[in-house]
Amino acid sequence: MQEHVSRRSFVKVAAAAAPAAALPALAASDEVTVGVIGAGGRGYYLTERLYAGNRNVKVLSVCDTYQGNLNRIKDRVQTMGKNAPQTTADYQQVLANKDVRMVIIATPEHLHHRMTLEAIKAGKHIYIEKPLAHTIEEGEEILKASATSKGKIQVGTQNRSNSLYGMARQMIGQGIIGECHYVRAFWYRNALPGGAAAWRYNVPKDASPENTDWNRFLGEAPKREFNKERYYQWRLYWDYSGGIATDLLVHQTDITNFVLGKTFPETCVASGGVYRWTDAADDREVPDTLSVIYEYGDKFHLNYSCYFGNDNFGYGEQFCGNEGTIEVLNRSTLKFTPQKFGDKTAGNRKEAVVELIANDNLAVEAHIRNLVEAIQGKAQLVAPVEVGQQAAVSGHMATLALRNKKMVRWDAKNRKAIIG
């Protein structure tokens, strides 16, 4: 029976999740006051889930650099929270607000680094969306700063709070699939003919330099003229995003680490390109087609694929053990299939399926609640900075491998990626 999914390695995972520093615990009845920085698709949704999953929270401040999204989140807080929040396009005003204890940062990827460092400095508790940062080095800086943080920091890899992955982890820990040396993870998407191309989200009709703060969006990214596509479809450009690797794949390497007690891969090769969305007018830079292979140090192989031109296989991870398979599909179905050897079934086991509708909503609520409860001294974080950085590193290794067309190795001693 394998060693690496033993009870001992789960204890190791739990230890890694222990908070580095602690504020005095609040009484359980104490309210957690919140500021939201970045209220686009995700920030808006997280705010809704914050209210849905917690009783004792109050959003005091909201920040967005597009006026339309700022108005929208202000209205949502007024409806759900029954208070009028402070509104601003300057995130430093949220951080300067002494009444705000916790901030949710859901801005584009390239802004995570500066905002998280400053939020740590301001002594806030932080929910930072994945990926932790735009480069490995930025993530390492956040990790270092987090060691002295007065607040708790949760990375937005919510699969860790999804009950089905918890179940998979427990089943595999009990040896139900035998040894597991191989995981297949995938995310397939498509768009209808005539619909928007992948990640070409609608640009608001009223968007203009007057209501869209372009310089604040750029932050430390290379300067350029106002460009609506880059602002509203930032995922498609390397200056602001790692594309599939840091937007989607990180969820799946993260949850593989969680389920099997892994940390960093040793090597990574990647291949892909823009094959599907090739209209001349589409200036996207990040691939729509990506395959990545990771080797971990302990005889473990992760095979990842993503394509934006066919969604038949959807989203999932398949934990392929020598005695059975556990698949978690679309974050809402867990399937167990025992291996057959001739006419015998390994361990006399039967197939099993658990299906939980809308399970990602519950996972996000639980993930935010885990942070709120950690702030209140009632829980330990499930996605602290170190595991967020482990997930992000695998994404960045894939981007480096793809863009350099070379194998990338993780130098664990010096915590650096080595190309070639």
Q: Does 386 bind ligand NAD (CB under 6 A)?
A: no
Q: Does 230 bind ligand NAD (CB under 6 A)?
A: no
Q: How far is the CB of 37 from ligand NAD (least distance, A)?
A: 5
Q: How far is the CB of 1 from ligand NAD (least distance, A)?
A: 34
Q: Which of residues 169-228 bind ligand NAD (CB under 6 A)?
A: 216-217, 219
Q: Does 395 bind ligand NAD (CB under 6 A)?
A: no
Nearer to ligand NAD, 19 or 68 (CB): 68
Q: How far is the CB of 408 from ligand NAD (least distance, A)?
A: 22
Q: How far is the CB of 49 from ligand NAD (least distance, A)?
A: 11
Q: Which of residues 127-166 bind ligand NAD (CB under 6 A)?
A: 129-130, 156, 158
Nearer to ligand NAD, 172 or 363 (CB): 363
C-alpha 309: how far from its chain's center?
23
Out of 5, 64, 366, 395, name the contact with ligand NAD by CB under 6 A. Answer: 64
Q: Which residue is nearest to ligand NAD (CB)?
A: 40
Nearer to ligand NAD, 85 or 156 (CB): 156
Nearer to ligand NAD, 91 or 296 (CB): 91
- 3-state SS, the chain, equals CCCCCCHHHHHHHHHHCCCCCCCCCCCCCCCEEEEEECCCHHHHHHHHHHHHHCCCEEEEEEECCEHHHHHHHHHHHHHHHCCCCEEECCHHHHHHCCCCCEEEECCCHHHHHHHHHHHHHCCCEEEECCCCCCCHHHHHHHHHHHCCCCCCEEECCHHHHCHHHHHHHHHHHCCCCCCEEEEEEEEECCCCCCCCCCCCCCCCCCCCCCCECHHHHHCCCCCCCCCHHHHHCHHHCCCCCCCHHHHHHHHHHHHHHHHHCCCCCCEEEEEEECCCCCCCCCCCCCCCEEEEEEEECCCEEEEEEEECCCCCCCEEEEEEECCEEEEEECCCEEEEEECEECCEEHHHCCCEEEECCCHHHHHHHHHHHHHHHHHCCCCCCCCCHHHHHHHHHHHHHHHHHHHHCCCEEEECCCCEEEEC
Out of 47, 69, 252, 337, name the contact with ligand NAD by CB under 6 A. Answer: 69
Nearer to ligand NAD, 59 or 176 (CB): 59
Q: How far is the CB of 387 from ligand NAD (least distance, A)?
A: 14
**Partners of 154 in the beta sheet?**
127
Cβ atoms of 185 and 319 within 8 Å: the answer is: no
Nearer to ligand NAD, 59 or 180 (CB): 59
Out of 47, 54, 65, 325, name the contact with ligand NAD by CB under 6 A. Answer: 65
Cβ atoms of 391 and 371 within 8 Å: the answer is: no
Out of 138, 247, 254, 373, name the contact with ligand NAD by CB under 6 A. Answer: 247
Out of 66, 237, 300, 315, name the contact with ligand NAD by CB under 6 A. Answer: 66
Omega into 204 within 30° of 0, i.e. cis? Answer: no
Q: How far is the CB of 207 from ligand NAD (least distance, A)?
A: 10
Q: Does 43 bind ligand NAD (CB under 6 A)?
A: yes
Stretch that binds ligand NAD, among 20-28, 34-42, 47-55, 202-210 (CB under 6 A): 34-42
- In the shown chain, the binding pattern of residues 87 to 106 toward ligand NAD, with x for contact by CB under 6 A and - for none, equals ----x--------------x
Q: Does 365 bind ligand NAD (CB under 6 A)?
A: no
| Residues engaged in binding ligand NAD (CB under 6 A) | 37-43, 63-66, 69, 91, 106-109, 111, 129-130, 156, 158, 216-217, 219, 247
